[in-house]
Amino acid sequence: MSAIHHTSYVFVVGGTGAQGIPVIRGLVKDKKYKCRVLTRDVNSARAKELVALGNVELVEGSFASENDLRNGFRGCDGAFVNIDGFNCGEKTEIYWAIRSYELALEEGVKFYVYGNLDYVYKKSGYDPKFRTGHYDGKGRIGEWVLAQNQVNSHRMGVAVFTTGPYIEMSIAAHTIFTPTVEDGVVTWRVPVGDGAVVHVSLDDCEYYARWLFDHPERSNGMDLEVAIDHIHYADLAKAFEKVTGHPARYIDTDMETYWKEGNTATAANLPSGYNSDPKDPSFMTFRQNFTGFFNMWTYSGRNQGVIRRDYKLLDDIHPNRIRSAEQYFRVEHARGISAGLGSLWDRVQEKNLRPVLKMAEDRRRGKL
């Protein structure tokens, strides 16, 4: 019988990322948990935002340093580790994700949550058209961590938290799903055919991560795969139009056209992991990586394809979760007006688009 590990002091890797901020917010909001957050820059706007939440301390360092990881885990009884694969690339992420688990165990952490993505290459039957480096890099380790837990759960419990593309990316700057306004029509041009994307709400990530730490007796050994729904982009456009009263559309775009004219065409031949070495045989370009990514969603429609979710389980765990694009847009529309950012229609104008991903916000091309 596995021990039940309740924790109170959580070391977080990836805390200044789009997902990390709501995860930490959920942990510290009632002061049940304290968070120690690893960051490359303790003076960044996102780092300061975390400190302002209360019960948050920062430690400057890198996930690609044994000393920094060891010092971060030391004295903490919990951990939430979500390594930025776009920083380092698939190969490096796999190594440091393994070392993160090993060092957490060594330092006496009692409950460890691994930030994961679907192992799409395996889920597709190892079909090469689905190879997506930043998904497969995490997915392999998600399975590895759960395998280690079969032996080590008496020392350290584990949960795997599998997410997907944030729905916030559909109304943000510099993402694979960034819209344009063409002749007064909000337009998404992406190559996903009649498939669907398992979009995730960042607010829901706040709830789910907190649930994992609050319920180790249930979450230990679990791979919690979350999503709002399998969202078809034609339905997303209809939802936007219904909420805002402004016309919107989805235009399915073939892969070749997308990489010539799409919203990330200029990045097509850049490294998928911006610190990865182009001379390394494991190197993937942005185009190679995201071609697999788009194929993943093209073949995942109606929750019957490559990527699937158990929505009944999610309803049980989070009864008040966001369940549709329309519901998300209504919440976000009201929040934007309340915060003085304007309506959703205002916010998707090119001059008003804001980044949600940390990589897009700071355009970092630097150290691990």
DSSP 72-104: HHTT-SEEEE---HHHH-HHHHHHHHHHHHHHH
- pLDDT values of the chain reduced to their tens digit, one per residue, 368 residues: 457 889 999 999 999 999 999 999 999 999 999 999 999 999 999 999 999 999 999 999 999 999 999 999 999 999 999 999 888 899 999 999 999 999 999 999 999 999 999 999 999 999 999 999 999 999 999 999 999 999 999 999 999 999 999 999 999 999 999 999 999 999 999 999 999 999 999 999 999 999 999 999 999 999 999 999 999 999 999 999 999 999 999 999 999 999 999 999 999 999 998 888 888 888 999 999 999 999 999 999 999 999 999 999 999 999 999 999 999 999 999 999 999 999 999 999 999 999 998 665 555 444 44
Domains (range + CATH), the chain: 9-164+199-225 (3.40.50.720)
Dihedral angle, C-alpha 62, 68, 70, 71, nearest 10 °: -130
- Beta partners for 355? 173
Residue-level pLDDT at 366: 43
* Token pair in block for residue 203: 């607010």
Residue 133's pLDDT is what? 96
| Entry pTM | 0.96
- Under DSSP, the state recorded for 173 is B
For residues 280 and 59, give the distance between their C-alpha atoms in angstroms, rounded to a whole number: 31
Instruction: Report the SS3 class of residue 266.
Output: helix
pLDDT value, residue 360 = 59
Q: Residue 213 burial by CB count (10 A; 0-12/13-18/19+): exposed, middle or buried?
A: buried
What are the distances in angstroms from CA 9 to CA 24, 74, 129, 268? 11, 10, 42, 41
Report the pLDDT value the prediction gives residue 359, as an integer from 0 to 100. Answer: 64
Angle (nearest 5°) at CA 117 between 7 and 222? 45
* Residue (of 268, 314, 306) closest to 290 by Cα position: 268
Phi, psi values for residue 132, rounded to 5°: -130, 105
Q: What was the pLDDT predicted at 262?
A: 94
**According to the model, what pLDDT value does residue 277 have?**
87
Rounded CA separation 28/220 (Å)? 21
Look up residue 223 and give its two tokens. 């791979």
Close Cβ partners of 48 (under 8 Å, ≥ 6 residues apart) = none
How far apart (Å, rounded) are the C-alpha atoms in residues 174 and 355?
6
Q: Which two tokens stand for residue 86?
A: 């776009």
Q: What letter would DSSP give residue 273?
A: S
Grouping H, G, I as helix, E, B as strand and the rest as coil, residue 326 is helix
C-alpha Rg value of the chain to the nearest Å: 20
> How far from each other are the two terminal CA atoms of the chain, in whole angstroms?
39
pLDDT recorded at residue 4? 83
